[in-house]
Amino acid sequence: MSAATAAVALVSAATLAAVPDPALVVVGGAGGAVARHLLGTAVGRGEFPLGTLTVNVLGSFLLGLLVFWPVGGDALLLAGTGACGAFTTFSSFSVSTVRLWERGDRTRAALFVAGNTLLTGGAVGLAAVVVTLVGGA
Amino acid sequence: MSRDPRALAVTVALVAVGGAVGASARHLLGTALPGLWGTLAANVSGSLLLGFLLYEALRADRLGDRTRTLLATGVLSSYTTYSTFVVETVRAEPLVGVSYLLGSYALGFAAALLGRDLAARVDPRDDREVSA
C-alpha cells in the first residue's frame, strides 16, 4: 500500500469512526433505497418483476465484495447493512411471487424464485472469485 | 411515475426517508436478535406488511400514492433485505443454509398471503378486481 492510499484509508476510517453507528445506517439506507427505486423504475415494470430481480442480484454481488474483501466495522454498517441492505428487498420478492402465482402466472412465479435464488447465489460466488483474483485487503 | 422534476424530487425524498427508517429498524432488530434470526424476522414481518399494503392498494387504495411510496418503496423494501439473506445463506453450514433458505421462502410467502387476507378482511369489497 502506497503512502497516499494509506493516508486516504486512515482519513476515511477516522471520518467514519466519528459518525455514530445509527447515522451510518440511516445514510446508507436512504441512499440504497433511492438507488433501488431509480434503477427499478429504469428497468421497467412489465409482467415480470425484472426491477426487483436486478437490484437483488446487483446488491448481493456488492455485499459479497464487502464481506469477502473483508470490509468491517463502520464501512460495513454504511455500505453493507445500510446501502446494500436497503438496495435489495425480500418483501417485494415474496409479495411479487405470491401475486404472480395467484394470478395464474405460475411459470413466471417459478422463474422469478429460481432466478433470484440462483443469480444472487452466483453473484455472491462471483464476488468471492473477484476478491480472490484482486487480492482483497 | 411522473416525469415532472418536482414530483420526482418528492418521490425521491419519500423513498430516502422511508429507506433510512426501514434500514434502521432492521439494524435494531438485528442487534436484538442473534445470528440469522434478525434477518429472518425482518424479512417475514416485512413481507406480511407489504402484502397487506399491496393488496389494500388493489382494493380500496385508501392510502394514496405518496403514503404508499413512503411505506412500501421506502420503509418496507429497505426493512427487508435479500443481499444479507443470500450472503448469510452462502456462509452458513450447508444444512443450516438450506434450512434458512427454504424456511425464509416458506415463511415469507405465507406472510405475504396472510397480508393479502388481512387486506381482504379490512375491505371485503372488490374481490373481482383482486382476482383479475
ipTM of the complex: 0.93
- Domain, as residue range, for A116: 20-134
Interface test with B, best of A26, A90, A126 (most B CBs within 10 A): A90
> What's the total number of domains in chain A?
1
Average pLDDT over residues B50-60: 93
Asked, for residue A43, whether it belongs to a domain, the answer is yes
Q: Are A59 and B82 in contact (CB under 8 A)?
A: yes
Asked, for residue A13, whether it belongs to a domain, the answer is no
List pLDDT tens digits, range A71-84. 989 999 999 999 99
Average pLDDT over residues A49-55: 97
Asked, for residue B132, whether it belongs to a domain, the answer is no
Asked, for residue A1, whether it belongs to a domain, the answer is no
> What's the total number of domains in chain B?
1
Asked, for residue A6, whether it belongs to a domain, the answer is no
Confidence of residue B132 (pLDDT cuts 50, 70, 90): very low
- A88 CB neighbours in chain B (<8 A) are 81-84
* Chain centroid offset of residue A24 CA: 16
- Domain, as residue range, for B73: 5-127
Asked, for residue A12, whether it belongs to a domain, the answer is no
- B22 CB neighbours in chain A (<8 A) are 29, 33, 86
CA dihedral of B115, B121, B126, B127, whole degrees rounded to 10: 70
Interface test with A, best of B31, B82, B88, B114 (most A CBs within 10 A): B82
Residue of chain B minimizing CA distance to A100 = B131
Asked, for residue A7, whether it belongs to a domain, the answer is no
Burial class (CB in 10 A: 0-12, 13-18, 19+), B132: exposed
pLDDT attached to residue A18: 82
pLDDT attached to residue A7: 64
